[in-house]
């Protein structure tokens, strides 16, 4: 099975405030507020950890959900975030330029 890697886009501004992660697109200044699952995914998206590992180690533990179900949802979420330019997706590990880090 092909691995999927996720990385925070360096082209966004991100900040966590009182547990809410807010992200603004650097391209069109659209503001997003991430829910709890999306926040976990965003924070773990280091470009080096495969998505299935993030799901198993972070999401399944937090939400007590079946890995297969969680993986399907996480992949859908990752593709949705990628379509807004918030995450980068690749089948290879992603070397990030380093901005867009959560604070």
Partner 1 sequence: MPELTTEVERLSLVIEIGGMPVRLHTCDIGFLRMLENRYAGFVSNSDRAEIEFDVDLTPPGTADPDADVRVTHRQGRWRFERGDFQAEWEPQCRRGWIRQSANPYSIDAVLRITHTLMLARQGGFLLHSASAIRNGKAFLFAGVSGAGKTTISRLAPRDATLLTDEISYVRQSSDGYSAFGTPFTGELAKLGENVSAPIGALYLLAKGQENRIDPISPPEAARSLLTNVLFFAEDEQLVQSIFHSAFEFVSRVPVLRLTFVPDARVWELIG
> Is residue 8 a contact partner of residue 82, using CB atoms and an 8 Å limit?
no
Q: In the range 32-91, which residues lie near partner 1 by CB under 8 A?
A: 33
Q: Out of 25, 43, 49, 96, which residue is the one contacting partner 1 (CB under 8 A)?
A: 25
Q: Out of 1, 2, 28, 64, which residue is the one contacting partner 1 (CB under 8 A)?
A: 28
| First and final C-alpha spacing in the chain | 34
99 sits near partner 1 (criterion: CB under 8 A): yes
Helix ranges (DSSP H) in the chain: 36-44, 51-54, 60-63, 67-83
How many amino acids of this chain bind partner 1 (CB under 8 A)?
Answer: 16
Report the SS3 class of residue 99.
coil
**Contacting residues toward partner 1, per CB under 8 A:** 11, 13, 15, 17-18, 20, 22, 24-29, 31, 33, 99
């Amino acid at each position: 099975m092909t691995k999927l890697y996720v990385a925070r886009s360096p082209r966004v501004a991100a900040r966590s405030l009182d547990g809410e992660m807010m992200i603004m697109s650097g391209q069109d200044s659209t503001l997003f507020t991430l829910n709890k699952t999306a926040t976990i995914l965003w924070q773990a998206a280091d470009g080096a950890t495969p998505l299935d590992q993030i799901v198993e180690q972070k999401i399944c533990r937090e939400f007590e959900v079946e890995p297969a179900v969680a993986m399907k949802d996480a992949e859908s979420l990752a593709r949705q975030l990628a379509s807004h330019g918030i995450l980068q997706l690749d089948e290879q590990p992603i070397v990030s330029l380093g901005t867009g880090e959560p604070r």
